[in-house]
Structure formats: structure tokens, C-alpha cells
Amino acid sequence: MERALLEWVSRDPARYGYLLDFYRRGARVCCAGAEGVVLKNDKLGLCYAGGTAFAPELETSRLALVEDRALAERLAARAPGLEILECAQAVYLKKDPPPRRDCPGVTLRPLTMDDLDFVLKNYRHPGAVEAHIRERIREGMLGAEAEGEPAGFIGVHEEGTMGLLEVLPRFRRRGLAEALEAALIRRQLEKGVLPYAHVKTGNAASEALQTKLGLTLDRRRFYWVG
């Protein structure tokens, strides 16, 4: 199974490298063949699917990421309330990290559990439950301080995508988002991990940020179902 996964990824490493990263984070290969691959992380209840491959695990997962629109619609039809989030994938393919962004008066540092309340208060996402954020901080979130105050943060989601990016309104347009993501990319490269992110379709500001930092934006769509 692992060999079949590697063969699939080798067809287009820029697009399918995320599958290998997900596998290395503890996912198992459910199926792999000419039509694609399906992986599941049982601990997270989360599936990744490349190509048009199908496996029963997709229908029992809490969340699924697929690249086939028809498959996404099939999964979303399982139960009322399930939604499809269309996104593009941005991948950092360079060996060297982005240049460090100099933001006068801004300090970047790893977050600790002392920052938990700050993240919970300011992360605008349904997944901002305490248990989840604790795990994200343990894995290694980064924070920005400006004028001696907490100003923003970034981290890595449980499946491996870069995200959790927030900059407080009063500190925006000062390059903090760019500085935070550049620092996170540097850390991911140092760990030997693929830096990649999923950008919701229509989020022009995020697409511009990824391009500015040197990530390759794949216009072919992916679909989160959950």
C-alpha cells in the first residue's frame, strides 16, 4: 500500500505531496490504485483522497478532503447539514525559506498555554474549541507581539495544513501576517515537513499572501466535506 501511495504522489509531487505528509502524520492507506488513493487518520476521524478513488472510510469520517467534485457531493448528501468548502492548495516548493520580514516593534515567539485564552478569544473559526487549540499550541503555534501587546498568531492544523492565522484589527497592514507565515514556513522546513495551506475560493487576500511568500498556488480545486 505504501508503495502504491508513493507511486501516486510521484505523478505530481507538487499537487500530491500533501498526501505523503498526511500519511507521515499517522494516516493509514485505505486503498491505492490507478484511480487514486484514500488515506484515513483514525485518531482524527479524517480522510484525504487523491484522484477519484473511493473507500468506505470516506463515508464514516468526521471530515474528508477530496479533489473530485462528484465525490464531494456524494459525501455531502449523506446527512443534512454537511457542507462542501471549495479551496485551492498553496504549496511551498522551494528549498530555502522566505526572507525574514522586518516589522519594526514586532516580536515573534512560540505560544505557550499562557496564551490559550488569547487564541480562543480571537480565533474566528468554529473549530476554536479549547481541546483543539491546546493541541495546536502543543504542536507549536507562533505568536506576534506589537507595542508590547499580543497582536496575532499562526499554527498548523491537526491534519498538517498551515493556518489558524489571525492578526488583531488594530495591528493589520503592518506585515504581521506575512512575518508570521514566513516564520512558520521556516520552521516546517527545518522539521522536514511540507509547508502547505488550503485557501477558500474567493479569499483574494489569502491568495495574494501565499503568492507573495513564494508558495505555488494550484488552481485545480479541492473540497473539504464535513
Instruction: Answer yes or no: is 117 within a domain.
Output: yes
Q: Measured between alpha carbons, how far is 116 from 112 in angstroms, rounded to an integer?
A: 7
Please count the residues of the chain.
226
Residues 27 and 83 in one domain: yes
Q: In this predicted model, what pLDDT tens digit does every residue of 147-188 receive, in sequence order?
A: 889 999 999 999 999 999 999 999 999 999 999 999 999 999
- Looking only at the bridges linking them, the beta strands covering 84-91 and 162-167 are unpaired
In a domain, 221, yes or no: no
Q: Which CATH number fits the domain that encloses residue 149?
A: 3.40.630.30
pLDDT digits (tens, 9 = 90+) for 46-105: 999 999 999 999 999 999 999 999 999 999 999 999 999 999 999 999 999 999 887 888
Single residue among 58, 90, 122 that ends a domain in this structure: 90
- Give the number of domains in the chain: 2
Query: pLDDT tens-digit profile of 108-159?
Result: 999 999 999 999 999 988 767 899 999 999 999 999 999 889 999 999 999 9
Give domain status of residue 203, yes or no: no
In a domain, 224, yes or no: no
Q: Name the phi and psi angles at 162, rounded to 5.
A: -70, 140
- Which DSSP letter does residue 77 get? T
175 is in which domain, residue-wise?
A: 106-193
